[in-house]
Amino acid sequence: MAAAKSLRISAMWIVFALLLAGIPTASADDPVLTSKDHSYRVVTLADGLDRPWGMAFLPDGEGILITEKTGKVRLYHDGRLRPGAVRGAPPSVVWGQGGLLDIALHPDFKTNRWVYFTYAGRGRGGASTELARARFTGRAFEDLEPLFQTAPKTRGGRHFGSRIVFDRSGHLFMTYGDRGDRHKAQDLSEHQGSVIRLNDDGRLPADNPFVGRAGTRPEIYSWGHRNPQGATLHPETGAVWTHEHGPQGGDEINIIRRGANYGWPKITYGEEYGGGAVSEHTALPGLEQPLLHWTPSIAPSGMAFYTGDKFPKWKGNLFVGALVLRHLRRVVLDGEKVVAQERLLGDLDERIRDVENGPDGYLYVLTDSSDGRLLRLEPVEG
């Protein structure tokens, strides 16, 4: 009895210490869900986010930076969402599907404090996706530096992309949609429908595939994409993986290869909204095939390989947010072969905008609404 009482007192002190430290603890109200390999609890860390879009984990317990499509960057720190916005974010504009989009840290952030953003930027002729960086002081962004603008600006409101990922050599990849003008994805003289590769300061890498080729945009690394809203680095191979929205069906996961054409709209597994063929072909010579495609569409957004240790049976799995079918898609892989899939978080009935590994080994998720939430998935033993 004395031992049991001692354990209860110890547990109470642990919870008390966590509360003092500002770290949210699981409660009976947090839903417990079951997957094929793990039971897990969904803990709401913060709500009240206005269309959250991307997140970046700061080192050394500094918190999480979260973008809101409406133009603000919010800081989650010490167990709470700080009121107000972090000052100094780039001047984005809400333009249809565009707004303040992704956020990423420089690989050497601890030394240089650079934070990168993609966002819809207004200019002559309309808007397009732009890239900028600024130094994070802990309270604000300073030394804001525009790095790159996709061209041309257009008035359409669709398919801005956009995700940011750094590869192991320090190159920055950003994804850009076709802006609703599908045939531009096959036009190398404009940036629409491409994955763009830059140096970390926005300069053009000399070894990009179309450098020196007349009539092309040399920033393009791959092309023939519709609207890529997910990008991540494979933890073993270092390859850049992306996913993109199809039309009605035909969402894709692709492994990005230098100078490759991914086919949109010459080939697709989707069809026109309301029915009818976009193309007669799902494959043609010289055009890349997707690793995986989904019909009906799941409307993918956000993507991460799980590399933590809290869910050992999920290690190496790919996780993709789904906006339309409102779940988190778990993709089990054997190399580049898909061996199984599973829907998670479907009981929440929320649009999943982003998913990321946390440095603590948990999975973190953003839900897409005017009252968006930051969620953490935690394992439940037993």
Q: What is the CATH number of the domain that holds 273?
A: 2.120.10.30
DSSP state of 12: H
Domain assignment present for 331: yes
Q: How many CB atoms lie within 10 A of CB 182?
A: 19
Q: What pLDDT score does 208 carry?
A: 98
What SS3 string covers 223-248?
Answer: ECCCCEEEEEECCCCCCEEEEECCCE
Domain assignment present for 16: no
User: 188, 236 in Cβ contact below 8 A?
Assistant: no
The count of structural domains within the chain is: 1
**CA neighbours closer than 13 Å in the CB half-sphere of residue 201:** 2
User: 51, 101 in Cβ contact below 8 A?
Assistant: no
Residues tagged active-site = 159
Domain assignment present for 19: no
| Distance (Å, whole) CA 66 – CA 58 | 11
359 upstream amide cis, omega within 30 of 0 = no
Full-model pTM: 0.92
Domain assignment present for 25: no
Q: What is the pLDDT along the chain (382 residues), one digit of tens a residue?
A: 444 444 343 444 433 334 333 455 556 578 899 999 999 999 999 999 999 999 999 999 999 999 999 999 999 999 999 999 999 999 999 999 999 999 999 999 999 999 999 999 999 999 999 999 999 999 999 999 999 999 999 999 999 999 999 999 999 999 999 999 999 999 999 999 999 999 999 999 999 999 999 999 999 999 999 999 999 999 999 999 999 999 999 999 999 999 999 999 999 999 999 999 999 999 999 999 999 999 999 999 999 999 999 999 999 999 999 999 999 999 999 999 999 999 999 999 999 999 999 999 999 999 999 999 999 999 997 5
Domain assignment present for 80: yes
Q: What pLDDT score does 31 carry?
A: 83
Q: What pLDDT score does 113 carry?
A: 98
Domain assignment present for 17: no
| Distance (Å, whole) CA 159 – CA 265 | 14
Domain assignment present for 14: no
Q: What pLDDT score does 382 carry?
A: 56
Residues 6+ apart with CB under 8 A from 363: 304, 306, 308, 311, 319, 355, 356, 357, 376, 377
Domain residue limits at 107:
31-380
| Distance (Å, whole) CA 382 – CA 380 | 7
Of 372, 320, 330, 325, the C-alpha closest to 346 is 325
**CA neighbours closer than 13 Å in the CB half-sphere of residue 222:** 24
What is the edge-to-edge ordering of all strands in the sheet holding 318-322?
300-305, 318-322, 327-334, 337-344
Domain assignment present for 194: yes
Q: What pLDDT score does 3 carry?
A: 45
Exposed e or buried b for every residue in 355-370, given b needs 16+ CB within 10 A?
bbbeeeebbbbbbbee
| Distance (Å, whole) CA 357 – CA 360 | 8
Q: What pLDDT score does 20 carry?
A: 35
Which residue type does 19 have?
Answer: L
